[in-house]
Amino acid sequence: MTARISPYLPISAGGLNLSGEGDAERITALKLIVGLGNPGREYFRNRHNVGYQIVNMLAKAHDLRFDKRRGKARLALGSVDEQRVTLVKPRTFMNESGRAVAQVARFYQVEPADMLVIFDDLDLPIGRIRLRPHGGTGGHKGMASIIKVLASRDFPRLRVGVGRPPGKMDPADYVLQDFSVEQEEVMAEVREQAVAAVEHWLAEGIESAMNEYNSPPKPPSAEPTRLSPSKKPKEPPSASRRQPQGIITDSPDNN
C-alpha cells in the first residue's frame, strides 16, 4: 500500500532533491495567498469571484503578475513589503478548489498557518470583512473542498461580505451574478481594505490583523467638527489625483 504524503511535510522529510529545477521557488516562497473564484471571463465580476478580484489587486499593487502555473493554478511570485509570497488563483471551478490548492501547498511545502484563503461570504453584509485563524466551511463549497483535500481547518482565512440574496432568490444564483451598481461603489473600498488586511497579516500576523480589521466601520460622528478660526478644513483630493483602486477593470490577469 502506498503511503500518502502530506502536503505539509518538511522538505527533508519528503526526501526531495533540492538540486532540481524549481527548487529556488520552493524554498523562497514562504506565504501562500489564495483567492477563490471561477475561471473564465464571464465570471470575473461575479460576487463569487471576490477572492480573485482581491489577489488581482494585491498583485497589481506590488507589481506581480500571474505568469506562472503549477498544476491547476495560476501563480504570481514575488515580494510584498519584503515578505516572499506566492499568490494563487485555482483554475478549477470553485467546488474543486482543494485539488489546485493542495498541489501548490505541497510543492512549496507551506505550513497551514502560512496560507491565507480569501473568499466571499453570504453571512457577512456588504462592506464587512473578517479574518479568522481557522474554522469551518461557512457553507462555502470552495472552502469545503480545500478543508477536505488538505484534511485541515487550521489555516487563516479572509471572509469578504457579499450579503444575502433578496427575497427567495437561490444563493447559488446570487453569487454568480455581478455586484449591483450600488454594491460596487461599496466594494471598491472593501477591496482596498481587504488588500490592506492581507498586507497587515503578512507584516504583523493574524491576531494583529484581526484586531485591526474585524471591527465594523465606525459610524460618522453626530457632532460637527469645530475648527478654530485659524484652521480651515482640508479639501478632498480631486478625482485627477486619486482614483478608487478597488474598481474592477478588464485586464488579462483578471481571470
What are the structural domains of the chain? 24-214 (3.40.50.1470)
Query: Does residue 51 contact residue 39 with C-beta atoms inside 8 Å?
Result: no
What does the pLDDT read at residue 246?
Answer: 57
pLDDT tens-digit map of 157-212: 999 999 999 999 999 999 999 999 999 999 999 999 999 999 999 999 999 999 99
pTM for the complete prediction? 0.78
Residue 130 confidence (pLDDT) above 90: yes
Q: Catalytic annotation on 48? A: yes
Nearest to 160 by CA among 197, 124, 189, 210: 124
Nearest to 173 by CA among 158, 162, 187: 162
The active-site residue, picked from 48, 62, 134, 200, is 48
Query: What pLDDT does 174 receive?
Result: 96
**pLDDT at residue 5 is higher than 50:** no
Return the number of other C-beta atoms located less than 10 Å from residue 219's C-beta: 6
- pLDDT tens per residue, range 52-87: 999 999 999 999 999 999 999 999 999 998 899 999
**Which pLDDT value is given to residue 216?**
74
* Joined grid coordinates for residue 79: 515580494
Residue 14 CA to chain centroid, in angstroms? 29
Under the banding of pLDDT at 50, 70 and 90, the label for residue 253 is: low
71-80 long-range contacts, Cβ below 8 Å, gap at least 24? 71/99, 71/100, 71/103, 71/104, 71/107, 72/96, 72/99, 72/100, 72/103, 73/100, 73/101, 73/103, 73/104, 75/104, 77/25, 77/29, 80/198, 80/199, 80/202
Say what the pLDDT of residue 242 is: 39
Confidence category of residue 228, pLDDT binned at 50, 70, 90: very low
User: What pLDDT score was predicted for residue 223?
Assistant: 44
Cα distance between residue 154 and residue 15, in whole Å:
25
Report how far residue 31's alpha carbon sits from residue 58's, in angstroms, rounded to the nearest whole number.
14
Q: What cell was used for 57?
A: 489587486
| Residues of the chain above pLDDT 70, percent | 73
Say if CB 193 and CB 217 are below 8 A apart.
Answer: no
| Overall average pLDDT of the 5-22 stretch | 36
Q: Parallel, antiparallel, or unpaired: how do β-strands 83-90 and 31-35 relate?
A: parallel
